[in-house]
Amino acid sequence: MQGRRLATTDEIIAIVSPDSEEPLETLTDWADERGIDLSTVDVGDDIGDVYDPNRATLGITLGGDGTFLEGIKTFAPRNIPLLGVNTGTLSFLARVEPEDFEDALEETLRGRAAVDSRQQVHVSGPGIDATGINDIMVKQVPPENPIDRKVTRLDVYADDEYVGEFEGTGLAVSTPTGSTGISLSANGPVHYPVNNHTLQIVPLHTHKLGVRPIVVSPETELRIVPQGQASLLVDGGRAHTILSEGDEITVTGADTLAHIVRTSYDDHFFTAITKKLGWDIRDAEVPSEKVRNPASDDQTVTNTDSNEAGDIVERALTLATEAAKAAAGPLRELHGQVESIDVKSDKSDIVTEADHQANRIITTVIGNEFPEHAIFSEEGIRQTNEETDYTWVIDPLDGTGNFAHGNPNYSISIALIEDGDPIIGVVYVPETEELFTAIAGEGAWRDGDPIRTTDRDRLDESMLISGYDPDGSFLSHFYQESRGVRRLGSAALNLCYLASGSADATWEHDTYPWDIAGGLVIARAAGATITDEAGDPFEFSLDTDDRAALLGSNGPLHPALLEHLEDGVTGSNA
């Protein structure tokens, strides 16, 4: 999950532990002032009566780590991000202190926090079907007679391979988040938990010196079979059962990840373990020159309040990239639902919702960081400001027809216009995670690598893409003359594939500004020639009543395209 998406939060659900009255009062006042709905439940209570899956929800826990674990148990299955506020004593997971609560909330709701993806662990077997965020522990059952045998033997398999026999107190299968608990006490390694999707097997009080911790992928199916009675505990006893000899349990990474909100007011992971676990490789306080931004890998916290924040184009490109990735989340989720629905009206509702959610995320993120800029969106949003030279042009879902039929060829297009000229472009493909970006006059990139158009000048060696071609004349006239004409259903992607050399030319009978704004910057910056059907330079306009044809090519191919276009396509359209 991308942190920018949190900017659209309109509902907060708080799980509240005893003795959290003051932070709860702070939260209540803060939510009231901003018109955000707030629901509270006590630890252990169900949120089913207050949770609305159709709203953008933020989960909060007010308490210690026990309350935080309850929050993960409650929020993770619903894909709700969680912000933990420490009102307990020694808290390792909930890392926002009450005095920083309001500032952390403000940062979160402006879309400037990061969201960590945390691996969970799942166990199934006789009498148990449970998920945990920390660990699953299988250990001996204390004998009634203290002189009886106090060890357990466990046979362990990884997929179809026999790992071996673990003899001792038992073993723990921990997540990276849980690596600092039971597994650390058993001399297991500390795992950096941020976006780390692994599991580790750690022997507990082993009777063999050569038995060491083992790290496996979350897809690995671990099978554990006790040779006698054993006790199984999930997250220290939040789920528990007694296993009999020969009972087989299966442990894997859980399908559902936990999403943890991290702000600049949190202690960093290594600061937390330094303070709370005695990590002595460094001091608790880090010199300022060694401090980096707390954002996760897919989120760069962009503070545009400062006049020294950097060049507006660079900042705008970063913001547009983050906004596109944030909007991709709900599109991917809803695209999966479209694929499984047969009723046309239901598909239409989902496509409308996808458009709405993606548009809301993008416009909110941009509005938060550049409130003075104008916004022009396909979804009907026209936020104008005569005092600014900058306008954002947004198509939150380009390729709606493809999306509605479960086809992956759809994209998100964002462009920034300065004085009428597109200067930055971002096109993101949610299903493949391809990212096309460009700055006018500086270059174009795909996933950070520079891209350029081809240099072919012969039609019979070229691959063409057709956009909107109402009577099929472009297809019929050029198909035999080239190596093929393809129609992908997304004008933004057509221009990006031209830019990256996957096609040599593209044609649109007429265009809307939101369809082409982002791709236009990318194609031009990669060396493309863009004209109208007569060969005159293409003039970008925000006037939707003045739509124009667009012919884009690698440049060398353009004369041949114009000649055939004039002979065939424009003639047939006359």
Q: Which residues are catalytic?
A: 65
CA distance 162 to 241: 24
Q: For residue 135, list its beta bridge partners.
A: 174
CA distance 79 to 257: 8
563 marked as part of a ligand binding site: no
150 marked as part of a ligand binding site: yes
483 backbone dihedrals φ, ψ, rounded to 5°? -85, 10
397 marked as part of a ligand binding site: yes
CA distance 345 to 350: 9
Q: Which two tokens stand for residue 559?
A: 């004369």
Placement of tokens 């597994």 in the chain: 183
Q: Which two tokens stand for residue 332?
A: 């991917």
133 CB-near residues (< 8 Å, 6+ apart)? 69, 72, 73, 76, 118, 120, 121, 175, 177, 178, 235, 258
CB 220 within 8 A of CB 75: no
CA distance 425 to 317: 8
| Number of helices followed by number of strands (H, E) in the chain | 13, 31
135 marked as part of a ligand binding site: yes
346 marked as part of a ligand binding site: no
Please report, for residues 17, 23, 80, 515, the alpha-carbon distance to residue 28 in angstroms, rounded to integers and kept in the order given. Answer: 15, 9, 20, 42
What is the 8-class DSSP label of residue 253?
A: E
CB 523 within 8 A of CB 483: no
Placement of tokens 């001399």 in the chain: 187
CA distance 271 to 265: 12
Q: Which phi-psi region, left, alpha or beta, contains residue 349 (left: φ > 0; alpha: ψ -120 to 50)?
A: alpha
Torsion over CA: 298, 303, 307, 309 (sign): negative
515 marked as part of a ligand binding site: yes
Cα atoms in the 13 Å half-sphere on the side-chain side of 59: 32
Q: Which two tokens stand for residue 555?
A: 């440049």
CB 250 within 8 A of CB 129: no
195 marked as part of a ligand binding site: no
342 marked as part of a ligand binding site: no
160 marked as part of a ligand binding site: no
Q: For residue 321, list its beta bridge partners.
A: none
The 3 state secondary structure assigned to 531-547 is ECCCCCECCCCCCCCCC
65 marked as part of a ligand binding site: yes
- Which pairing describes strands 239-243 and 258-262: parallel, antiparallel, or unpaired? unpaired
Query: Which residues fall in the annotated binding site?
Result: 65-66, 134-135, 150, 378, 395, 397-398, 515
Q: Which residues are annotated as a binding site for Mg(2+)?
A: 378, 395, 397-398, 515
